[in-house]
Amino acid sequence: MKGAKAKIGLIGAGWMGRHHACNIIKNNAAELFAVADVEEKNINRLQKETGWEGRIFTNYEALLDSEVEAVIIASPNASHEKMSVSAAKAGKHIYCEKPMAISPEGCRNVRDAVRKRGVKYLIGYHRRLNPLYQYAHQLLVDGKLGNLFMVESDYLHHIPGDWDIWSWLGKEKIAGSLFHAGSGHNVDLIRFFGGDIMEVSCMKGTFMPRKEQVETEDTAVAIFRFKNGAIGKVQFCVGPILPFQFNFRLYGTKGSVLNNKVWLDAIPRFADTGHENDFIELPATWIPDNVQGGISEPWDKLMNHFVDMLVKGTPSINDVDSAFQTSIACFAAMESARRKKSITLKEMMG
């Protein structure tokens, strides 16, 4: 029906789910029709914080049986596969929080179910829409950076011990690989610039002392070879004594980008004496901080894009095939660290 709002259901009313709920409530083309959470108190908290009223469920299957046309999946990682497959089978469009699933088979199941039913899919890697990366991407597309030959991104996140997410984040059966959970963002970002990945080498370990130890890894460095020959690097650490850092560095034959600073050989000629320190400085407030939302962490923009996919038919900027490629690259990195050899994505995909 023309002008009707997209009826959206939220599964998981935790930290991320509450952000998403606020962004749907603010969007005039969408309606937060229902919320499901196994903990009713978490839905009550969402209601209290936002004033939202609507249908509530304590199991997601009942939400899928309701009139919602699309779902946002923001529950712990291990549930993403089952929920995505069930949603696709029920013909509901999907915004799924990262990671897509916690095993290569799980990701394949999601991809196949989404393709089979033809539902729309968007993975929750919001940083592609951060203005720094949009700016750098446009420079690359316009040829101003020349040929990209290396791109790097770091995820260094202390994650304070009292955050709710630690109730499950360290447990492999619920969270899967912590590298995939955290640095999936970085792998997605370097793919945004470098394209598809062919091969990965990685080292990983667990170093930071904690009350409840992380069962997978809290530190990793992965080196990627893109299909076009360029090199990528992702550095991951959960627990360092540092505020959140999400760094980005890109090197092309005509220019480089280091977070919010851009050097181009064209403006002015970098090689001319006296101009080595000339660069374009973009606002430092655009650098991701993982807290504020809005311009540096554009969860709202990605959610608005999802609503546009539903109401305007806008194609997904990060569909199920793209999400699959990012996830498989993350699994390949972990496999490389385990087997102490470089792994091709072809091997991982079987």
Ligand X SMILES: NC(=O)c1ccc[n+]([C@@H]2O[C@H](COP(=O)([O-])OP(=O)(O)OC[C@H]3O[C@@H](n4cnc5c(N)ncnc54)[C@H](O)[C@@H]3O)[C@@H](O)[C@H]2O)c1
Name the DSSP letter for residue 65.
T
- Sign of the Cα torsion 203, 206, 207, 208 reads positive
Token readout for 170 is 């360290």
β-strands 261-264, 6-11 pairing: unpaired
Token readout for 2 is 């023309």
Instruction: Mark the segment that binds ligand X (CB under 6 A) among 11-19, 233-241, 245-253, 320-328.
Output: 11-19
23 binds ligand X (CB under 6 A): no
How many residues sit in the footprint of ligand X (CB under 6 A)? 25
Among 6, 22, 33, 42, binds ligand X (CB under 6 A): 42
Among 23, 27, 75, 296, binds ligand X (CB under 6 A): 75
Closer to ligand X by CB, 234 or 264: give it: 234
Provide CB contacts within 8 A for 297, sequence distance 6+.
Answer: 126, 127, 130, 288, 289, 290, 291
Q: Residue 251 Cβ, how far from ligand X at the closest point, in Å? A: 26
Among 22, 30, 37, 71, binds ligand X (CB under 6 A): 37
37 close to 12: Cβ distance less than 8 angstroms: yes
115 close to 92: Cβ distance less than 8 angstroms: no
What is the x/- site pattern for ligand X, positions 297-326, by CB under 6 A? ------------------------------
Distance, in Å, from the CA atom of 175 to the CA atom of 185, rounded to the nearest integer, reads 15
79 binds ligand X (CB under 6 A): yes
212 close to 174: Cβ distance less than 8 angstroms: no
Closer to ligand X by CB, 27 or 84: give it: 84
60 binds ligand X (CB under 6 A): yes
- Binding to ligand X, residues 161-190 (CB under 6 A): 164-165, 181
Among 22, 30, 74, 85, binds ligand X (CB under 6 A): 74
62 binds ligand X (CB under 6 A): no
77 binds ligand X (CB under 6 A): yes
Among 6, 8, 10, 16, binds ligand X (CB under 6 A): 16
Q: Which residue lies nearest ligand X, judged by its C-beta?
A: 14
Which region holds residue 30: left if phi is over 0, alpha if psi is between -120 and 50, else beta?
beta
**Distance set, CA 113 to CA 64, 67, 90, 189, 236 (Å):** 15, 20, 10, 25, 31
Cα three-residue angle 125-128-130, rounded to 5 degrees: 115
Closer to ligand X by CB, 60 or 236: give it: 60
Q: Residue 225 Cβ, how far from ligand X at the closest point, in Å? A: 26
106 binds ligand X (CB under 6 A): no
Instruction: Mark the segment that binds ligand X (CB under 6 A) among 31-39, 100-108, 139-147, 272-280.
Output: 31-39
198 close to 345: Cβ distance less than 8 angstroms: yes
Residues that bind ligand X (CB under 6 A): 11-17, 36-39, 42, 60, 74-77, 79, 97-98, 124, 126, 164-165, 181
